[in-house]
């Protein structure tokens, strides 16, 4: 859609103003700290690249980056693997529009509850005396509780649940736009249900998978509450470092870590977009 | 799935036998007790207005709808609930349904691939199929890079390369402009003749059906109204609907006054008209007389007691024809008179005698 210059400016002005005033300016002010020196618990206003140098040469920061990427990667993969079949079932198996609407609300419901509340919910479920462990013990699957809290497992489980709707809805929406006669054509040409899925449905819904994946990945990368509450200090990720540094008045370190986080997110979006460009379907994020 | 030259099936009688199929969608009866058979190598059209059940019938043959009653036999084998991938049919979809993520070549070879043909055989047969639809050099193109007519040809090649026993076509030309449509009609017909494949062609365009088909099944409101050659359904429409839907027709309510041999005289108000008999008419039967506009004669009143007297209500000159709308007491008739140099034209308001040769009109049940 093309909008005439004057009107376009008018329509874009409020959101641009808000973005600049509430996002770009504070972010800039904060990020400038990355070039200041931090010494003896104080920020000194002298220009330096020392904080960057320290971040890039410290093996611990690579550990944090790799933990962050691992967490985001696993959560994204799980959300897509669980979300795709769900979206597919919602699209193909639920015939009545009413039932579909109800299910969509049920799937969206978790988003209306604070992440803090949901994370505490998982705290109760995953505890040693929690529902998951008690059930597995009763069933005789395990003979002593497995540790699901204050480690990676707990964060992954909880974060996957929290981000699931963000994986489902892009896929569901792309499925809905797929011409149903494409599937029929594949069946008509001799493909069984599986071949139809692998050769037609899945390739044509990859743009949805990609956008769902990018949303999950960036949200998982910047997740704070869940790793904080369920990680028990053992899941050290970038947002936690930013938080801890900021609390300790080490704004230079917080700023540099923020830049790393931002760079990784931008990189992920760029990489997926580049991958999508090679698809013949012409969908971009 | 049978692989072989489709022409070889020519002597085997019915390729498709549709037996009293009924299909309901909830409370709506989309297809009601429809039966017909199609011979091997025949070009058979299902013709009717939108919502008449023709596409549902086609989809039932292809296995995309399961019928509630009746059965469909393809090559003598009952289809029951067999899915599309296990039927000897292929479909050309209305919206073509070409795979946008595959090249032209990969689209056409899809069916052969699903049947596990070796790559060399696939390449040869896809090459032949593309050559047959005059797309020989476009195999590497993406679907999005083709024109509408080219996409149409790819869809056709993708279905025909599998050498189906029956090819199903769901209004494949409806999205194209008139000129291209006429050209592809001709190509399609030629292709069908040379391959000898049985075609089931769904269309709402009576001109298309008349021009291409060996036989036509006319459908209305889920029922099959009549099956016959284009000439039969034009000359002897079985119902009032068929008479009105195929070609232009004046449909005149009349009461039989006298039956004589092959013809009859029927009363229309005060006037009398002649028509060909179909056999079921008796004295006093109420019926409809169907007369095509191009068979209506418009002349100066000559004082004959029979015949219809009317007045020219409207005139439209279209080059080869002069079309009149005539007001005759109690009814309105359309006439299309061939125009050559010197043909006398009537003006709006002129009083005229309207008539036709007795065997040019035909009776239709009321």
pLDDT tens digit at each of 285 positions of chain A: 555 678 888 899 999 999 999 999 999 998 999 999 998 888 888 899 999 999 999 999 999 999 999 999 999 999 999 999 999 998 888 888 899 889 888 888 878 889 899 999 999 999 988 899 999 999 988 888 888 889 999 999 999 999 999 999 999 999 999 999 999 999 999 999 999 999 999 999 999 999 999 999 999 999 999 999 998 888 899 999 999 999 999 999 999 999 999 999 999 999 988 888 776 554 433
Band of pLDDT at residue B344, cut at 50, 70 and 90? confident
ipTM of the assembly?
0.82
CB contact under 8 A, A190 and B162: yes
Task: Delimit the domains of chain A by residue range.
Answer: 56-277
Cβ(B256)–Cβ(B283) under 8 Å? yes
pLDDT for position A4: 65
Please state the pTM of the whole predicted model: 0.83
Of A22-31, B3-12, B67-76, the range with the lowest mean pLDDT is B3-12
- pLDDT above 90: residue B92: yes
Band of pLDDT at residue B114, cut at 50, 70 and 90? very high
pLDDT for position A49: 92
DSSP string over B196-219: --EEEEEES-HHHHHHH-SEEEEE
**Chain B interface test: which of A185, A200, A206 (most B C-beta within 10 Å):** A185
Give the CATH architecture of domain A56-277. Orthogonal Bundle (1.10)
- Determine the average pLDDT of the residues in B71-82: 93
- Within 8 A of B110 by CB-CB distance, chain A residues are 186, 189, 191, 199
Exposure letters B202-240 (e unless 16+ CB within 10 A, then b): bbbbbebbbebbbbbbbbbebbbbbbbebeebbebbbbb
Give the DSSP letter of residue A178: S
- pLDDT above 90: residue B309: no
- pLDDT above 60: residue B29: yes
Band of pLDDT at residue B305, cut at 50, 70 and 90? low
CA distance B129 to A120: 63
The enclosing H or E element of A135 equals: helix A131-138
- Within 8 A of A187 by CB-CB distance, chain B residues are 63-64, 83-85
CB atoms within 10 A of CB B103: 18
Among B83, B97, B101, select the one facing A185 at the smallest CB separation.
B97
- Higher-confidence residue: B272 or B35? B35
CB contact under 8 A, B101 and A182: no
Summarised one tens digit per residue, pLDDT across range B312-335 is 999 999 889 999 999 988 788 999
């Amino acid at each position: 859609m093309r909008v005439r210059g004057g009107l376009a400016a008018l329509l874009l002005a409020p959101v641009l103003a808000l973005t600049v005033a509430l996002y770009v300016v504070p972010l800039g002010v904060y990020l400038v700290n990355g070039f200041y020196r931090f010494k003896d618990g104080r920020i000194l206003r002298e220009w330096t690249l020392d904080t960057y140098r320290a971040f890039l040469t410290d093996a611990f920061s690579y550990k944090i980056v790799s933990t962050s990427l691992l967490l985001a990667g696993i959560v994204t993969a799980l959300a897509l693997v669980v979300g795709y079949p769900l979206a597919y079932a919602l699209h193909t198996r639920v015939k009545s529009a009413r039932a579909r609407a109800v299910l969509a609300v049920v799937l969206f419901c978790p988003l209306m509850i604070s992440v803090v509340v949901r994370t505490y919910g998982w705290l109760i479920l995953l505890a040693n005396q929690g529902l998951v462990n008690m059930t597995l013990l009763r069933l005789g699957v395990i003979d002593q509780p497995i540790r699901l809290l204050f480690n990676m497992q707990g964060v992954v489980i909880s974060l996957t649940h929290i981000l699931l709707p963000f994986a489902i809805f892009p896929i569901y929406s792309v499925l809905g736009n797929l011409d149903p006669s494409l599937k029929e054509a594949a069946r008509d040409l001799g493909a069984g249900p599986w071949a139809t899925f692998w050769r037609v449905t899945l390739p044509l819904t990859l743009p949805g998978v990609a956008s769902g994946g990018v949303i999950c990945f960036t949200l998982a990368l910047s997740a704070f509450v869940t790793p904080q509450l369920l990680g028990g200090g053992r899941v050290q990720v970038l947002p936690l470092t930013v938080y801890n540094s900021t609390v300790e008045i080490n704004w230079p370190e917080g700023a540099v870590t923020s830049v790393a986080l931002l760079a990784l997110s931008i990189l992920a979006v760029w990489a997926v977009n580049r991958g999508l460009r090679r698809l013949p379907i012409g969908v971009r994020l | 799935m049978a692989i072989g030259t489709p022409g070889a099936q020519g002597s085997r009688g019915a390729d498709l036998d549709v037996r009293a199929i009924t299909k309901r969608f909830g409370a709506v009866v989309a297809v009601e007790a429809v039966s017909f058979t199609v011979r091997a190598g025949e070009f058979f059209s299902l013709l009717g207005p939108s919502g008449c059940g023709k596409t549902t019938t086609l989809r039932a043959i292809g296995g995309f709808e399961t019928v509630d009653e009746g059965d469909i036999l393809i090559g003598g084998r009952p289809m029951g609930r067999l899915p599309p991938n296990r039927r000897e049919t292929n479909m050309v979809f209305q919206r073509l349904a070409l795979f946008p993520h595959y090249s032209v070549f990969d689209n056409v070879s899809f069916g052969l691939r699903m049947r596990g043909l070796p790559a060399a055989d696939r390449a040869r047969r896809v090459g032949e199929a593309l050559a047959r639809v005059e797309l020989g050099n476009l195999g590497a193109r993406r679907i999005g890079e083709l024109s509408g007519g080219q996409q149409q040809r790819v869809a056709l090649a993708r279905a025909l390369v599998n050498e189906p026993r029956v090819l199903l076509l769901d209004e494949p030309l409806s999205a194209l402009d008139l000129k291209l449509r006429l050209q592809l009609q001709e190509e399609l017909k030629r292709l069908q003749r040379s391959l000898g494949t049985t075609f089931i062609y769904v269309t709402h365009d009576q001109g298309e059906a008349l021009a291409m088909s060996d036989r036509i099944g006319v459908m209305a409101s889920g029922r099959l109204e009549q099956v016959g050659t284009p000439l039969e359904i034009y000359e002897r429409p079985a119902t009032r609907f068929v008479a009105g839907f195929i070609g232009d027709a004046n449909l005149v309510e009349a009461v039989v006054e006298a039956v004589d041999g092959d013809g009859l005289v029927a009363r229309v108000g005060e006037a009398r008209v002649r028509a060909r008999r179909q056999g079921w008419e008796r004295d006093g039967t109420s019926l409809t007389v169907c007369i095509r506009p191009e068979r209506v004669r418009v002349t100066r009143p000559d004082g004959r007691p029979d015949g219809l007297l009317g007045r020219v209500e409207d005139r439209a000159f279209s080059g080869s024809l002069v079309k009149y709308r005539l007001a005759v007491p109690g009814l309105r008739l359309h006439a299309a008179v061939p125009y050559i140099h010197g043909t006398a034209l009537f003006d709006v308001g002129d009083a005229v005698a309207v008539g036709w040769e007795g065997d040019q009109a035909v009776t239709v049940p009321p």
